[in-house]
Amino acid sequence: MDETGNAPIIQVRGLRNQFGDQVVHEALDLDVRRGEIIGVVGGSGSGKSVLLRSIIGLREPDAGQIEVLGVDGRSRESEDRLHIERSTGVLFQDGALFSSLTVGENVQVPLKEHHPDLPESLLYELALLKVKLAGLPPDALDKLPSQLSGGMRKRAGLARALALDPPLLFLDEPTAGLDPIGAAAFDHLTRTLQQALGLTVFLITHDLDTLYAICDRVAVLAERRVIAVGPLAEIERFDHPWVQDYFNGPRGRAARDSQRRIAART
């Protein structure tokens, strides 16, 4: 149980991931609380995306336990896998859209997979709703990914991630490659959707502005495990060389000062 008395929506214990002789994770523990936006950070090679893939079942860990939404995340039972698949949405860094399908058809993929009996008219309306939720204009529905800007492709990927109304959303570097205005807009959209839909968001990022703008807690990956997790004010004081360089270096101070100025205006 967490400090609110609720069971974590994600619980990882003793996770080990290894590729040949390279051990990426060893004895990694992490709890994700229901309803929060948690940012996961770490240096290159710290295994941020490997952790995400382990949690959602795209990689079989070498050891450890994973529980997602009360279900064994390592289970191969079809009912357990279906429960997790239907309850999670994932936005990969590059959007991972099917290039030969329109945006609307991309959004319909999980709907058709999990609800094959839905009529075409309802599939269209649901896809249109998700596209609008992701902040895209309705005419984006009929466009191919190649006809969209990078920021619009990310929003299209987000629309597909929201297709099944999941309570749990995974975002892998959602603002990577976006200009500062586009990144800030995506951050605002993420927080708005999280609050409006009651989402829990697991967010991998290297974007300090994103961390300060929307994350309730931050988990730091280093030395093959989570070395610290907590609100940013606590993480900033954590005595570790990478943490201090990252959060209290010039870029970290600039991001922190920027958010303080925004908070003062509001």
Of the candidates 265, 243, 204, the one whose C-alpha atom is nearest the C-alpha of residue 32 is 204
Report whether pLDDT(257) > 90.
no
- State the residue for tokens 């893939």: 53
Tens-place pLDDT, residues 27-40: 999 999 999 999 99
pLDDT of residue 266: 66
Report whether pLDDT(118) > 90.
yes
pLDDT of residue 3: 55
pLDDT of residue 248: 86
Please tell me the distance from the alpha carbon of residue 128 to that of residue 26, in angstroms, as a whole number: 43
Tens-place pLDDT, residues 186-205: 999 999 999 999 999 999 99
pTM, two decimals, is 0.93
pLDDT of residue 1: 55
Domains of the chain: 10-265 (3.40.50.300)
Q: Decide if 50 contacts 24 (C-beta within 8 A).
A: yes
